[in-house]
Structure 1
Amino acid sequence: MRKSFYEYLMTERNPNGYDEISQFANNAFFDTQFPKHENNFEIISKYLEENAGYLPSMTIFDEAWQKYLAYLD
């Protein structure tokens, strides 16, 4: 079964990390409404645009998404 984006993102989590993707992962971990079982770009992107005040730029999500796709290969 294909891992969800959230499952991948949690591999990037680092409470002591300062890079943008680590910070995104750390904040997503505490976001109880994050679509944890989703692997559809559009659905996750829409959720983040509307609900993730902790994400300063959607470019961070785009970078994380590219890493996710590479991870799946």
Structure 2
Amino acid sequence: MAFRESFYRFLMTQRDPDSHSEIAEFANNAQNDSSFPRHSQDYEEISNYLELNAGYLPSMTIFDDAYQMYLDKMN
């Protein structure tokens, strides 16, 4: 089975402090979230965490879009 990087590691490639895109802002904020499930690849685990703990994420649609980008890159 091929190695697949964690969602967090992928998300960190989307950081850009000068960007106002929703995904870049999500990535910038996730970087500062010390409890983020950094080693997970699992949609449900990450989604549940974000719904309960990520006040910095204004809409779960942003996570869904970022996760789809992650899947596209991994396939």
Using the size of structure 2 for normalisation, the TM-score is: 0.96
- Once the two structures are superposed, residues 11-65 of structure 1 have per-residue CA deviations (whole angstroms, 9 ceiling, x without a partner) of 0000111000000000000000000000000000000000000000000000000
Q: Which is greater in Rg?
A: 2
Extract unaligned runs of 5+ from structure 2: none
Residue 69 of structure 2 aligns with which residue? 67
Q: How many residues align?
A: 73
RMSD across aligned C-alpha pairs, in angstroms? 0.4
Extract unaligned runs of 5+ from structure 1: none
Residue 45 of structure 1 aligns with which residue? 47
Residue 34 of structure 2 aligns with which residue? 32
Moved runs in structure 1, 4+ residues, more than 2 A?
none
Residue 18 of structure 1 aligns with which residue? 20
